[in-house]
Amino acid sequence: MGRLLVTLLAVIATILGSTIDGYESKVVQFIFGDSLSDVGNNEQLPRSLAKANLPWYGIDFGDGLPNGRFTNGRTVADIIGDAMGLPRPPAFLDPNLDEDTILEKGVNYASGGGGILNETGSYFIQRLCFHKQLELFRGTQDLITYKIGKNESRKFFRNAAYVVALGANDFINNYLMPVYGDSWKYNDQTFVDYLIETLEGQLKLLHRLGARKLMVFGLGPMGCIPLQRVLSTSGDCQEKTNDLALSFNKAASKMVEQLSATLPHANFKFGDAYDVVDDVIKNPYKYGFTNSDSPCCSFGQIRPALTCIPASTLCKDRSKYVFWDEYHPSDKANQMIANELIKKFGFLRADAGVPSPAPAMAPSADD
Ligand SMILES: *[C@@H]1O[C@H](CO)[C@@H](O)[C@H](O)[C@H]1NC(C)=O
Ligand SMILES: *[C@@H]1O[C@H](CO)[C@@H](O)[C@H](O)[C@H]1NC(C)=O
């Protein structure tokens, strides 16, 4: 009898112990971003005008129903996380999110229309800017600390991988739109300086909150998104917009490198896929695409269509289009962008020791 009890207690202790060890060893991701990384936050914002909650968003993902992603399949962060062998974090506003899920999978705070600046995207009425996303992250930390204690929580957040992918909206839905004050207040150089300075403060805050391993995604040639092209009379890419992306990338790369060298134990990396996407847009056939200037999902001849809706028509082969809608790349293009970033970040799969293109090379988007 006594012996059995001791054994039972030992078993219980082992189970409890391994659960606590689980907190220590589990590496999860915390993702901050805009519509390129949103996995359902805006879907829960009742007044947001930027939503991917109608068909045909998500048609090549899981059950094919809209899931909050602003594309037909996976986001770049999905594909990179898969390649790192990390679970896909749920949206912060997912009604099922609880502490156990956070400890298992991390959290994604990305929100369509959100920017580095608070004022960016105000046109969409409701969105989570980076400042707000960081506030929510602090709330998440409090929740986890309450659940597993201060020391374990500290370890959990230090071991996590962080992704920061913002900036496009600060140009497209702020600086480049004359309805925003920032477009009058700044010039190209001072606006990029303002963005980089703000981003630097935000990354330092993340470091103070425990982020050690962090990736910052740069901008693509955003002057070539279908919406920008249709706004130019010739239908060509807007070179001024592309130059802004290049100058942001250059300054952000330098800033992130500097932070990584000076902040204690920081492993911060910057990567962009500008050159590859630029080449894909100029030479789509070389990469297996047939269209790089218009959205796969469009509403007849009416351009810009602004969003993909059930009444829209889809291109015949979604894997042949670089762009899914007026703003966002297709799953296939996201896969190319992710592959390029994986190369730039130079990371290895934690459990293999060799770069693992395998999940990123999967033939179709799935869950
Ligand atoms: C955003 O707003 C908050 C709260 O009003 C403020 O503390 C913060 O400095 C602002 N951040 C930026 C980048 O403007
Ligand atoms: C937390 O860590 C500190 C310092 O490492 C240690 O002194 C303390 O006992 C730990 N607390 C718990 C509850 O484990």
Name the closest-CA residue to atom 8, ligand 2: 151
User: What CA–CA distance (Å, rounded) separates 54 from 101?
Assistant: 26
- From first CA to last CA, the distance across the chain in angstroms is 49
Query: What 3 state SS string does 272-289 have?
Result: CCHHHHHHHHHCHHHHCC
Residue 350 reports pLDDT greater than 50: no
Closest C-alpha to ligand 1, atom 2: 118
Q: Which residue has the higher pLDDT, 351 or 254?
A: 254
Is the confidence at residue 359, as pLDDT, over 70? Answer: no
C-alpha 121 – ligand 1 centre gap (Å):
15
Share of the chain above pLDDT 70, in %: 87
Which stretch of 54-68, 83-97, 111-125, 195-209 has the lowest confidence by average pLDDT? 111-125
Mean pLDDT of the chain: 89
Quick: pLDDT tens for 293-342. Answer: 999 999 877 788 778 999 999 999 999 999 999 999 999 999 999 999 99
For 168-186, give one letter per residue: b (16+ CB within 10 A) or e: bbbbbbbbbeeebebeeee
Closest ligand 1 atom to residue 116 Cα is 13
Measured in Å, residue 108 CA sits from the centre of ligand 2 at 30
Q: How far is the CA of 202 from the centre of ligand 2 (A)?
A: 29
pLDDT tier, 25 (very low <50, low <70, confident <90, very high otherwise): low
Q: Where are the beta strands (DSSP E) in 28-105?
A: 29-33
Determine the residue of 32, 117, 118, 130 to mutate for testing ligand 1's pocket, defined as the one with the most ligand atoms within 8 A of the Cβ atom.
118
Residue 91 burial (CB count, 10 A): 24
Higher pLDDT, 184 or 220: 220
Q: Is the pLDDT of residue 355 over 80?
A: no
pLDDT (tens digit per residue) in 40-92: 999 999 888 888 989 999 999 999 999 999 999 999 999 999 999 999 999 99
Q: Is the pLDDT of residue 24 over 60?
A: no
Beta bridge partners of 30: 107, 162
Q: From the CB of 149, is ligand 2 less than 6 Å away?
A: yes
Q: Rg of the Cα trace of the chain? A: 21
Helix (H) or strand (E) holding 297: strand 297-298
pLDDT in tens, 125-143: 789 999 999 999 999 999 9
Q: How confident is the model at residue 124 (pLDDT cuts 50, 70, 90)?
A: confident
Question: What is the pLDDT, as a whole number, of residue 168?
Answer: 97
Per-residue confidence at 347, pLDDT binned at 50, 70, 90? low
Per-residue pLDDT, 68: 96
φ, ψ of residue 167 to 5 degrees: the values are 135, -35
**Mutation test residue for ligand 1: of 120, 131, 138, 185, the one with most atoms within 8 Å of CB:** 131
Nearest CA to ligand 2 atom 5: 151
CB 119 less than 6 A from any atom of ligand 1: no
- Give the amino acid at 202: Q
Residue nearest to atom 9 of ligand 2 (CA): 151
- Identify the pLDDT of residue 47: 82
**CATH says 27-281+330-345 is which class?**
alpha beta
Angle, CA of 183, 219 and 343, to the nearest 5°: 170
Residue 17, pLDDT score: 40
pLDDT band of residue 233 (cuts 50, 70, 90) is confident
| Interatomic CA distance for residues 165 and 31, integer angstroms | 8
Both tokens assigned to 288: 């297996």
Tell me the whole-structure pTM to 2 decimals: 0.89
Q: What is the per-residue pLDDT for 351?
A: 43
Query: What type of residue sits at position 310?
Result: P
Q: Is the CB of 20 under 6 A from ligand 2?
A: no
So what's the pLDDT on residue 320?
98
Q: Cα(203)–Cα(208) distance, rounded to whole angstroms? A: 9
pLDDT for the residue numbered 356: 40
Domain residue limits, the chain = 27-281+330-345
pLDDT of residue 306: 77
Minimal CA–CA distance to 110: which of 135, 127, 87?
Answer: 127
Residues with Cβ < 8 Å from 359, sequence gap 6 or more?
Answer: 79, 82, 83
| Position 92, amino acid | F
More confident: 111 or 182: 111
Residue 200, ligand 1, Cβ within 6 A: no
